[in-house]
Every structure is written in C-alpha cells, then in structure tokens.
Structure 1
Amino acid sequence: MSKNVLITGCSSGLGLALTHYYLEAGYHVFGISRTQPSITHENFTFKACDLIQTQLIKNNLKEFIQNIQALDLVYLNAGMLGEIKSSFELTIEELQEVYNLNVYANKELLDILATIEVKTIIGLSSGASVNGSKGWASYSLSKAGLNMLLNLYSKEMPNSVLLAVAPGVVETPMTDYIRFDINDQEFPSAQRLKNGEIQTPEQAAQRLAKVAQQSDKFESGAFIDVRSL
C-alpha cells in the first residue's frame, strides 16, 4: 500500500518540487493550491483552493481531506512573502494579508487534519521567524506566528508530530525578488541572500524529506532549521 502525503502550494517552487519528489518515491500525493500544476500521474490527486480566502477553507477542503482518512505526511507549504519595506510604511491591511495565508490558513487546515489520522505535519517556516531583519516585518511576524501555531497544536494533537522547519534559502521568484529587486544598501538582508548559500527547489525538497524521515527524533512542536542539522 502506498503512503499518502498532502502538500499545499503544490503548483510551483518548493511545493512543486516536493510533489515530484514524493510521486517518484511512490507516494500518493494530494495537492492543494490555487492553480493546478501540469502533472498527469495516477497517484496525484488535486484540489483547487485559494488558501488566502481563509473563510472558505473548511467548506472547500474538509470533505476532500477527511476522505483521505490517513496521512503519513503533510507539508503546509503555501505562503507568501509580502513586500520588503520599512515597518513604518506597512499598513495593518498588508500585515493582515500575509498573516492570513501564512498563519490563519494553516490554523483552518490543522483543525481539519486533527479529525483524521496524521503521522507528521511539517509547516514551512523560515530563519526570518527567529532573526529579525529590516524590511521583513510581514514575513517574520507571520512565520513566528506559524512556529507558535504548530507548537500550540502539538499539545492538542498528541498522536501527530508537528514541526516548524526552515528549509534554508531556496531559488524561487520570492527569493529572486529579494536578491535582485531590493536595494541592498537600504535592506542589508538582500545582500546577505545574494552572497549566501542558495538551493534549487529540488535540493530543498530532498533536505526536507530527510527531516520528515526522522521526524520522530524531534520534539513535537519544535522549530528546526535544516542548516543546523
């Protein structure tokens, strides 16, 4: 019997790389994203859902997820960066938009996942959740919130292992925006990304899979940075 994995944000970047990785590993992959990826595979089941519309998540996804009944692994991967700019210039509405997708959408998903059998849940976090940098307020606040969300739910889902995992810097349109479009004199973090290690989505997917394979070695609710392993 093949294993089941659920991946949100499966249509591009790291989510798409994870989808291909687990299909090649023989898993049945259940994918959720706003747009459908160009994947025709007998073990791929897709459900379209715009997760930023948090008020619709349970109506749109509850039946889809509960029909799976048992999941070996879940990647809460869907997320957004928000605009890199001074905290003074950020509006509450801009902060709320990022928080909705990066935190509240995952809260809605966890509520559903708690009703079925799930072994491991990995929420895609970031080093930015524990290290503040100028310009990153929307992203850092939301990823710190995700860390705590998973920690709290780990206390209420004792039969599952929940981990907030920072995958390191991944080459995606999001990181390209930071590396190439942001003034690194005004925002020094952009320069650090330009000069630091960067992975392809495929490389990051392999590193995440290794964490997932040994998830029972970590305390449920923990934050893990793959670069420290």
Structure 2
Amino acid sequence: MKNAALQHVAIIMDGNGRWAERRGLPKTEGHRQGARQVSVILEAARDAGIHYLTLYAFSTENWKRPVQEVTALMKLMEEFLDDKLPELIEKNVRLRTIGRTADLPSGVRKKLLDAIETTSGNTAGVLNLALSYGGRAEIVDGVNRYLDEAWKSGRKPPKLTEEDFRDCLYAPDIPDPDLLIRTSGELRLSNFLLWQLSYSEIYVTDTLWPDFGKEEFAEAVASYRKRERRFGGR
C-alpha cells in the first residue's frame, strides 16, 4: 500500500551561495533569491494539501560564518518577515519557529515575535522556521528543560520516556516530518531535526534552492507517494 497522507514536509534549503557564484553575484543575492522561493514552495505545499512546512533557515553553525555574511543574513531575515507577514495573513498561515531564537539580534527577534503573535490564530497551514537551530542543541535543551522542571517540583527526576522527552522539544505538538527534502545534492542531515527525522522519507535533488520551484516540489511529493513507510516493520 502506497503512502497517501502527507501532512509535514521539512526542507534543508541548500545552494544559495553556489547559485550566486555561478552567476558572478555576491552570496547575499543568492540568499535573497532563496528567500523569494519560500512563497513559491509555501503555495506548492498548500496546493498539495500539506499543513506543516518546516524550513531550515539558519543553523547554530551558521553563526561561525564571516561576520559580514551573518549581518547580511540577519538583515535579510528582517526584510523577509516584513515582506511575508501580509502574505501569511492573507493566506491564513501561522508562523512558528524552533531554535535558540534568544540568540538572534533584537531587531530580528522583535519582528519574529510580532509576526508569530499576529498569525497565531491562523488555521490554513503552519510555516515553521528553524532559526539559530541545531538538532543536537534541541536535544540538549530538551534534557535540561526536563531536569529543570523535575527539580523545580522538588522531586528526583523520574526515568525518562520517549513521550516525556518529546514534550520537552521546541515544538512537541507539531508531528514529525513525513518527508525531508534537501536541495543542492548534498547527502547529509546537517544537524537538522535529529530526533524528529528518525523515520522520515528522504528526497535529495541536485537543484539549488533558488531554482527549486513548484515542479521540483511536485516531483518530491510524487516520489514520496510511491513509497511504503514501514517504521521498522516488514
């Protein structure tokens, strides 16, 4: 029996820098074009009946990039939030985020929190941005959250179960991704959703993110629907 239900797609949006370099443009132009593709894929996901779209926008490791590039990315994030908020409101899409967002510059963080609050009642879909996010960091933060809550209650932490631990993650109410898409042909997870991707189907394309459009997204969805998910069973 082939897959039919597809409610959550996660994407590692890779290839912005290479896209720019091949055109003799600065990396910031690649990131800018990549930001534009979010609207395209958000619409494609909606057309495919997908409710949750999680995008790997900025990792904990990305802070190690040159200061000038990080500054440009943060400025672009502010522009992205300004530009996309009216669209999210119009399309009834809720904005959420996962990651160590307290590390973001105050201007970005304020716009992000405002957009999250403004769209909190939207019900047609969820755009979940992974910002200052790392899969290992999420696991460490989850363990610390579990221990903090246990000690605050004045009791020894009980034996941890998978269900208890999941409740301590950044967004425990969002279902695990059914499908992970990675653009640009790289074959690695890059510290993305390490807990949640345990049984997700994976689709890798050589297409760079700024060129990844509706047709490519449809191909990824079609590939998923041809597969049979076993979750370790036969």
TM-score in same-fold range (> 0.5): no
Larger-Rg structure = 2
Q: Which has the higher contact order (CA 8 A, sep 6+)?
A: 2
Question: What TM-score, normalized by structure 1, do the two folds share?
Answer: 0.37
